[in-house]
Structure 1
């Protein structure tokens, strides 16, 4: 299996890059108090950081809002995942605990203020793509059972015709969501070479380290950009 970013994506999103973490052999059924503490620490830190600062006007979010405009998407209507998380936290609404894998991803995402996705690799045997939507693609919104229509040309995460994240890093699908029985996960961390590459690499390193520490699982890391658009996922 491969994680592939199509060339057209790099033409639209100048300098976009992806730090990728793959973990397998996970037991996601056990409560891990250390992850709970990490998540709360990240939440508390972000509450302080944005106490007197607007999330949407912050330096950390600017590159993603600019990218949404480059895709002809209104970033005020469709906030990228990390902006949505930070906006919720800035309003002192906290963040619910979902399960250890999701909570760990959120903790690292908040710490480095970068979007981190999480996809169940057992939900598909086909390659994972970041690409423009095609005829036949479908998306099932989180928590729903019926698919919604898609316009051709939208940048998405997809495997086969199943769109796993709409509007690049806006919202993930019901298909491939992380549940208690999930044991193999792909974590893409999205950013830009010219802006937050160091944060992406730091987030990747810490996520990989903590996955090994808390789950005693197999971890593989990779880097995808315009010069190397494919990451081979080992079984």
Structure 2
């Protein structure tokens, strides 16, 4: 089954600015929109996947430090390219892999699933609740004025990215800072989410085929508890005709 027109338009309108590709011409964003998700809390299936991810991380780190994992190292270089310090600001996949040895967080079913797949495939992977989304997703270099809704000291607050920082955003503001470092609270997935945007961030040496495999596994996981699932994906690359427009 196809997506509803509004979500199909959102996916078709997604863009990555040329200024981002100038930092990393090898960058690829695979966007997957899924609707008809049956909402629910963490369960036995997501727990099993999290345990698989934790074991995967332990095996990977037994052979080499996290910073030497090829795709993680590539993201550290990408962060340096826009002024972030990888030792202080870690991409989401690295942060999860480092945490996996002691145990990944248990949040809700959707978040648990995409966190687990992020670790297993060693790829930054984010999820956004489309009920809170405004307009199409855009990846760009920040002006520094864009609002970012987050938490500090247990209280909600509005922060702003640094000028030149790579950010995902919609018409209402920043949805994820520093490419794939920290998600905003406004669009985070919950136990009630029924429609979601998942973003797979890839650099060389991770192949496009490996990214598509990770997306296939996410769809399989979602379909297992959502018989009415509808999904569609789009790959944005440097050669994509709509990039930067």
Deviation for aligned residue 1:199 = 2.2
Alignment check: 8 A CA contact 2:46 2:113 kept = yes
Partner of residue 3, structure 2: none
The answer for unaligned runs of 5 or more in structure 2 is 1-9
TM-score for both structures, normalised by structure 2? 0.86
Taking the TM superposition and a 5 Å limit, the aligned residue runs for 1:69-108 are 69-89=80-100, 92-108=101-117
1:126 and 2:138 correspond: no
**Residues 192 and 103 of structure 1, relative CA distance in 2, 3 Å threshold:** same
Shift of 1:49: 2.0
Match of 1:201 among 212, 226, 241: 212
Match of 2:238 among 208, 222, 226: 226
Q: How many pairs align?
A: 229
Q: Does 1:45 align with 2:60?
A: no
SS class of match (2:156) = coil
Aligned ranges for residues 39-188 of structure 1 at < 5 Å?
Answer: 39-89=50-100, 92-134=101-143, 136-142=145-151, 144-188=155-199
Report the 3-state secondary structure (helix = DSSP H, G, I; strand = E; otherwise coil) of the residue aligned with 1:27.
coil
SS at match of 1:199: helix
- Separation in 2, partners of 1:152, 1:134: 5
Q: Verify the 8 A CA contact 1:4 1:130 in the aligned structure 2.
A: yes
Q: Which runs of 5+ in 1 are unaligned?
A: none
* Pairing partner for 2:203 from 169, 183, 192: 192
> Counterparts of 1:28 and 1:83 in 2: how far apart (Å)?
28
1:45 is paired with a residue of what secondary structure?
Answer: helix
Structure 1's consecutive aligned runs of 4 or more residues displaced over 4 angstroms after TM superposition are none
Determine the structure 2 residue equivalent to 1:28. Answer: 39
